[in-house]
Amino acid sequence: MKRWIIKSLLAVFLTLLGIAGFNFYMDPLWTFDHRHMFDDYQRAAKERQQKSHALYFRAKKYDTLMLGSSRTARMNQHTFSDTTYNYAVSDMVPMEYIHYIDFAITKAKQPVKTIYLGLDFFGGLGYKSKIAYKADSLLETITQSFYRYKLLLSLDALDYSIKNIKYSLRHRINRYTYDNVERTPPLNHSISKKNFEKNVAVEVGEFEQRYSRKYDENYKSIMQNLVKSFPHIKFIVFTTPVSIVQFKKLIEMHQYKNYERWLRENVEVFSKVHHFMYLNPMTREENIYFQDSHHTYMATSKCLAQEMLNQKSSCPKIDIVLTKQNINAKLKELKKINFH
């Protein structure tokens, strides 16, 4: 009986050691700092944790962050600089920004001086996913003793590790690279229209629900508090574009006045906004520049970044710069464009 117990315990120990070793090697949750041949096609398992882990546990330091939803996550951080980190995640909303910026600066000790903030109109309508309310507890857990070593025995981590190997062998798209760049399909005009229409059909109900919400009366104060909390940081703000089919849905749902209010409040808080969310040459060619009704291809996102950086791009120029001085005139101009 004693020998059986020893063998059983040894078997359990070796199994756990194997799981921990495999999870350490694959590092699917980004809590370590090594690279290997199977880590360039990774699932976005738990984006908020995953990206926070990389800032907290990995050695590289960043002076620039990018924040926003999955639309902003599509931007390649390297287009801006080698010291830019794309901290944008799916469904990120304004109430979350302050928590993640504070974590990056105070806990992860990142020397942040500049933040690119990608603003989505649905963020002004009071839309909040369930995880948006969990920012404090989620980030606090990361700083606990032995946290990353406990994750090595996680069965969830094991599942992600196995899937990442499969994704790497198949070179699956819509996956993250080791250095936090999201892979999207390349532009292919022969198949993009079919894919776009298929994706839009799935999303119609979702955005009818989002655009049915009332404007968030706390939106402006949330943004003002953000700026006041980090006076040493330069915020570069831009609106994320959507396809013409989704912009029409915004109008159909009687949200245009709120859309104008949203733009005006952002300009009042940040003084300057790079505006891409209107009916422009890119949104009118939606099946070329958009993968679905509100996510651009990576190549499209690169063009947006290049416009903000005053660099040459292969896309039509669509950046309308809104300021306190021109906001009234630009809103009139936009109304003519959007209702043409």
Residue 292's pLDDT band (boundaries 50, 70, 90)? confident
SS (H, E, C) the chain: CHHHHHHHHHHHHHHHHHHHHHHHHHCCCCCCCCCCCCCCCECCCCHHHHHHHHHHHCCCCCCEEEECCHHHHCCCHHHCCCCEEECCCCCCCHHHHHHHHHHHHHHCCCCCCEEEEEECHHHHHCCCCHHHHHHHHHHHHHCCCCHHHHHCCCHHHHHHHHHHHHHHHHCCCCCECCCCCECCCCCCHHHHHHHHHHHHHHHHHHHHHHCCCCCCCCHHHHHHHHHHHCCCCEEEEEECCCCHHHHHHHHHCCCHHHHHHHHHHHHHHHCEEEECCCCCHHHHCHHHHECCCCCECHHHHHHHHHHHCCCCCCCCCCCEEEECCCHHHHHHHHHHHHCC
pLDDT at 229: 97
- 123/182 Cα distance (integer angstroms): 22
For range 254-271, the mean pLDDT: 97
Q: What's the token pair of residue 153?
A: 């025995």
Give the tens place of pLDDT for each residue, 86-99: 999 999 999 999 99
pLDDT at position 220 over 70: yes
For range 31-51, the mean pLDDT: 90
For range 235-256, the mean pLDDT: 93
pLDDT at 189: 56
Query: Is the model more confident about 253 or about 340?
Result: 253
pLDDT at position 206 over 60: yes
Cα separation values, 79 from 70, 72, 74, 276, Å:
17, 13, 12, 18
Which residue from 66, 272, 288, 131 is spatially nearest to 196, judged by alpha carbons?
A: 288
For range 175-179, the mean pLDDT: 88
pLDDT at position 40 over 90: no
pLDDT at 127: 81
For range 268-277, the mean pLDDT: 98
pLDDT at 191: 55
